[in-house]
Chain A
Amino acid sequence: MPTALIVEQLLNGVQFGIMLFLMAAGLTLIFGVMGLINLAHGSFYMVGAFACAAVAAATGSFWLGLVASLAAAAALGALVEVTVIRRLYARDHLDQVLATFALILILSEATRWLFGSFPLYLNIPPLLGGAVALPGGVQYPIYRLAIIVAGLAIGVGLYLLIAKTRLGMRIRAGESDREMIGALGVDIRTLYTVLFALGSALAGFAGAMVGALQSVQVGMGEPVLILAFVVIVIGGIGSIKGAFVGALVVGVTDTMGRVLLPPLLAAAIGPAQASGIGGALASMSIYIVMALILAFRPRGLFSAQG
């Protein structure tokens, strides 16, 4: 197997991982601080992608589309939080699952109503088009590198936010003891709305960026949602660092698994059987990794909860 291919796929794995990190970061904060399981997180991913595609098509500018995706996802997140999510904090996980499952139905159908059932297309902006030569003879798309860079930048920004700002302090305090920060006079309701909107915005941004690589369609968020949950469970609920590490583990495992397993299996059992089973094993690989990690670290790698 040529090195160039492996390096390219490795970078793809990292890019996939970075995108998952954007999804997982919001999810882990929301679950860690508010104790809320949010199945509708994938819907904000989708909304961000649609907003970007629609605005980009209308204005001709990808960048405006990107801004729109952030704004739309954040605004929708805030709206949903105030009307529905707020009532769920005191309820058990089962009720949260059902309610956010209902939100998926509502948001998906609403999107289909607005935009129809056919996928939208989003073009990579000319500034980020083309490929760049990397050591090892790889021609790697600039856009994918841009995603990696953007994701890392956001990761650093989130870290600084959590570790160095007052908002971050309140978030960390909220993770350890919800009742205390209320008693200390922090406005919990606003904090939660802001946090939820922030998480949704991150998801929307991820959706928009990926929308240029794949198509923008209803339901695009669901497979990503499941993976994001796997990421936060591996990384440890409530931990941004865990979300980062977990996302890279999942992204690279999944991508490299798809690349390496079929040929490895073909060598062992013959090519005819290998491609089907290889694909299956590759899809299963992430879940196997998750089960293994939970077997040894039942709370994930970097659990923020004592």
Chain B
Amino acid sequence: MRREPILNAALALLLLAAPLAAFVLDEPFYISLTTRIVILAIAAAGLNLALGFGGLVSFGHAAFFGIGGYAAGILAAHAFNMEPLLGLPATDLMPTIWIVAVLICAIVALPIGAISLRTSGVYFIMITLAFAQMIYYFAISWPAYNGEDGLSITVRNAFPGLNTANPLSFFLVCYLVLMAVLAVIWRLRDSRFGAALQASRQNAVRVSAVGIRPFRIRLVAFILSAVITGIAGALFADLNRFVSPSMMSWQMSGELIVLVILGGTGRLFGPVAGAILYVLLEFMLGGITERWQFFLGFILLGVVLFARGGIVGVIAGKVRHD
């Protein structure tokens, strides 16, 4: 267990050092690349809360990623055109957009969770997928926001006191959000709530037998995880200045699961390690060959078959619940 905090600190520092070095070397592309890693890490951290700590294999988390993205995109579009949205003035302030994303994701996650959590196993996987597909097809065909073609964000949303068009400034915003999210998840994990959640994953019967209802614990965890992934979606839309229904596709849900497992399911910095490895592989292999997905597939296969516990598991050993 002692190795894990060291690894976590190393990963956090690495993520901070890389873009700073890129800034000094005047290579803004690498700042954006690291920002992409950070945002995917946030999205995966959200999923990890439900999947890693709670054992809830959601194959529909891309829906929340996309909802967050569209919150950013739609508000940005309305703010740019100075059109009110649903009677209220639109805003292009990121903190406000995040609050909107959080609210909508929570409102959507509540019924989805309440229904899905009545099932288990592969049925849970499928029903979460079904709900995400419904939202995906809805986004494709809603005429107002370009459907499948996606929505452009002309000017990146604003953050008070910073010039978000500057890649390093935007990176810092995302990095701080990641650290804040990880800090919250860290507290959650070690709290009474976290204990009940992890116990529910290990043995739901035992949890009921001591008077705690797993359903309620899991539902709250599901909603919290959706909200975190939603914030990541809003940031992702701002990074690319573009949002499209593909952010909600089942392939995206699969990618989020891959990030969590690659890094180490149920480990605090697992999503960070997973995002770093995945994006770097995508980038480096992509530079070598067009067939990079072929090799990525083998690497992923290797990790599943031979590196149980993901990157964090291999480097820091098994979890000790002390």
- Residues on A facing B (Cβ under 8 Å): 31, 37, 39, 84, 87, 91, 93-95, 97-99, 101-106, 108-110, 112-113, 222, 226, 229-230, 233, 237, 273, 276-277, 279-280, 283-284, 287-288, 290-291, 294-295, 298-300
B300 touches A98 (CB 8 A): yes
Cβ distance A38 to chain B, nearest Cβ, rounded Å: 11
Known: A93-B122, A99-B305. A105 touches B300 (CB 8 A): yes
Cβ distance A107 to chain B, nearest Cβ, rounded Å: 8
Which residues of the other chain, B, contact A31 by a CB distance below 8 angstroms? 122
Decide yes or no whether B138 CB sits under 8 A from chain A: yes
A98 touches B261 (CB 8 A): yes
Residue interface bits B278-297, CB-to-A below 8 A is 1, else 0: 00000000000001011011
Leading 10 A-B pairs by shortest Cβ distance: A280-B141, A105-B297, A109-B294, A106-B297, A102-B300, A283-B137, A287-B130, A102-B301, A102-B297, A99-B304
Q: Can you sample 30 A-B contacts with CB below 8 Å? A: A93-B57, A95-B304, A97-B125, A97-B257, A98-B257, A99-B300, A99-B304, A101-B258, A102-B300, A103-B301, A105-B293, A106-B298, A109-B291, A109-B294, A110-B294, A112-B291, A113-B294, A226-B129, A277-B141, A279-B141, A280-B142, A284-B134, A287-B133, A291-B115, A291-B127, A291-B131, A294-B119, A294-B126, A298-B118, A299-B123
Which residues of the other chain, B, contact A287 by a CB distance below 8 angstroms? 130-131, 133-134
Q: How far is the CA of A11 from the CA of B304 in the complex (A)?
A: 43
Which residues of the other chain, A, contact B258 by a CB distance below 8 angstroms? 98, 101
- Residues on B facing A (Cβ under 8 Å): 51, 57, 59, 115, 118-119, 121-123, 125-127, 129-131, 133-134, 137-138, 140-143, 147, 250-251, 254, 257-258, 261-262, 265, 291, 293-294, 296-298, 300-301, 303-305
Instruction: Count chain B CB atoms within 10 A of each CB in A101, A113, A222, A288 and give the residue with the most.
Output: A101
Q: How far is the CA of A251 from the CA of B121 in the complex (A)?
A: 25
A94 touches B261 (CB 8 A): yes
